[in-house]
Amino acid sequence: MTDARHSARGIALVLMAAMLWGTTGTAQSLAPATLSPYWVGSLRLVIASGFFALLALGAPARSGAWHWPPVLLAGVSIAVYNLSFFAGVRASGVALGTAIAIGSGPIWAGLLQTLLTRRLPAPLWWLGTLVSVAGGVAMALGQSGGLRLQAGGVALCLLAGLCYAVYALANKHLVLALGPVRTNLVVFVGASLISVPMAWVLGGPLQAGTQSWAVVAFLGLVSTGISYLLFSSGLRHISGATGVTLALGEPVTAFMLAVWVVGERQQLLAWLGLAAVIAGLLVVIAAEMRSAR
């Protein structure tokens, strides 16, 4: 398989992961208000860890040394990402919170990758990324009907974007050495051990009924387990920064679900933002394919 075909496969896998992530906000909105967002983020990590543990039972063993520093870095990053993302979205609203968290991720990733490799990503990548991020902001403003910033919520969402970028770059290193299943298993188990005590401290005792567990089970198995397996598999073939940018397919999916499933009527600004996100993603894909060739 040529490098270009490898890249095309990686792009497709990451986009499929982003589509599954796009169901997160809708699913979270179905959870009862009594369920703390900190517990939502933590429990989905626990369920995803069980999912990866089952997959690991049938996965072929790999020889080689474990890369504990990036494992710990990825685990801490994904734990803080989940806690800050769900809390930030609760404070800022689903549309705006998701736009800030997911939109800031590619910028963080581009800057971090530049520091690590001492080389800026291609100008075409920056163009596509900035267009997509701007489109994501326009989508959020069009859906929310205005700009309603809450300082704490914005800070949490920006922290979530930074942690997601750190996780993606560390995950890129790990998945090449350990494979997608073992990488996600050790990262999510570590993240669960960190996030559950934090959820207890920040969110109080767990209060979850049948509806809460149904929502968390979906988030853990589908929006986290399957999606992160696809994402990690895709990162084997594309750059970490490109993987983070392609995650902007998440708000596109969430937007379409709101229109087709929920029946929401969107403003013109939101539709223009949707077009900008898609156009920017196409530019980023072109930049990645050009690099592969």
What's the pLDDT tens digit per position in 10-36?
999 999 999 998 887 777 777 777 778
Q: What is the DSSP string of 128-144?
A: HHHHHHHHHHHHHHHHH
Whole-number Å distance between alpha carbons of 285 and 11: 7
Give the pLDDT confidence score for residue 100 in this predicted structure: 85
Give the pLDDT confidence score for residue 125 in this predicted structure: 93
Q: Which amino acid is at 133?
A: V
Specify whether the CB–CB gap between 64 and 175 falls below 8 A: no
Give the pLDDT confidence score for residue 62 in this predicted structure: 62
Give the pLDDT confidence score for residue 129 in this predicted structure: 93
Give the pLDDT confidence score for residue 264 in this predicted structure: 72
Q: What is the DSSP string of the chain?
A: --HHHHHHHHHHHHHHHHHHHTTHHHHHHTS-TTS-HHHHHHHHHHHHHHHHHHHHHHSPP--S---HHHHHHHHHHHHHHHHHHHHHHHHH-HHHHHHHHHHHHHHHHHHHHHHHHSSPPPHHHHHHHHHHHHHHHHHHHHHHTS----HHHHHHHHHHHHHHHHHHHHHHHHHHHH-HHHHHHHHHHHHHHHHHHHHHHHH-S----HHHHHHHHHIIIIIIIIHHHHHHHHHTTS-HHHHHHHTTHHHHHHHHHIIIII-PPPPHHHHHHHHHHHHHHHHHHHHHHHHH-
Write the pLDDT tens digit of every residue in 122-163: 899 999 999 999 998 888 887 655 556 678 888 999 999 999
Give the pLDDT confidence score for residue 220 in this predicted structure: 93
Give the pLDDT confidence score for residue 272 in this predicted structure: 93
What's 206's DSSP letter?
-
Enumerate residue ranges in the chain where pLDDT < 70. 1-2, 60-66, 143-149, 262, 293
Whole-number Å distance between alpha carbons of 19 and 249: 6
CA distance readout (Å), 96 to 20, 90, 150 = 19, 10, 10
Q: What is the DSSP string of 105-135?
A: HHHHHHHHHHHHHSSPPPHHHHHHHHHHHHH
Give the pLDDT confidence score for residue 1 in this predicted structure: 52
